[in-house]
Structure 1
Amino acid sequence: MQDDGGDGRNRGRDETAEERADRRWGDLLQELRVAQTGVQILFGFLLTVVFQPRFADLSQTNQDIYTCTVLLGAATTGALIGPVSFHRLVTGQRLKPQTVVWASRLTVLGLILLLCTMASSLLLILRVVVDDTAAAWLVAGMVLWFILCWYVMPAWARAVHSAESDEPSTPSP
């Protein structure tokens, strides 16, 4: 069975819906391993900050940013580990294609939360190192960089690929 992705176009793979779901699940797990490792390290460091002697010297604003950052880190961890729990709880129910869709959505949500966690972490750190205005501009620049790398470039690649695959193929001489 040719995989047409539901739109009638040949995607170049000869696999059943179940085989496609298995392949996509394996791909998603590899992506999650990378993201989860980074999030767990970041979250672990965040959890230790409050126990440092200098934490009490932070302004109330910085302590509020820290609290927000920890909550964002926890939410990110939950979203990126969510696909594993989802898969475990529906295993054997013949829901693999649907599980892949939901797990993918949780992963995208986790990446958005990771972007927020990174921005909040950077804001906290940079407010300690440079003045508040410079910190805000530096964080804004980094957020734009993450958005470019994580969302704009993949969206651009999809658009280019989609435009190329929509063009009628001409026989080569």
Structure 2
Amino acid sequence: MLAIALGAAQLVLALLFLFAGLPKVLGRGLDRWAGFDALPRPLTVLIGAAEIAGSLALVLPPLLGRLPWVTPLAAGGLAVVTLMAAGFHLRADERLRALETVLWALLCGTVAVGRWDLLATGPDLGAALLAPVIGVLLVGLGVNLVAILRAPGASPVDS
């Protein structure tokens, strides 16, 4: 059950970060993203490239059966990038979006902890804890997304 929950979380995160990173690298649609108009273009491209690389590192090692230790490192790195993104939303006084990014970061962190055994021997929190945490985070993200979309003046692409 834990392997399925982690795999599903990795797939969802990989798609999220792929589609979040592409506009930053390509330079299209950045006006829809909070705070990127104030960043230098090279920094925006670097952030987008990191998100794309992280998304690939979440799914390619398990699919290829090589370098499995990359997955928990990518998940941890994406958690850090996502927590920093919450600062953009807080600065723009977008509390629901800040909460959403924190939830995404928690999901990344949960994948990092769940896949930590691929990196080294370490503490094992076990499936009894991690699978429900992933479920709660996914439900929380869904509820938060509905709240964002129902907010006055909300647009589905404003994240």
Q: Report 1 or 2 for greater relative contact order, CA contacts < 8 Å, sequence distance ≥ 6.
A: 2
TM-score normalised by structure 1 residue count: 0.42
- Could you tell me the TM-score, scaled by structure 2's length? 0.45
Structure number with bigger Rg: 1
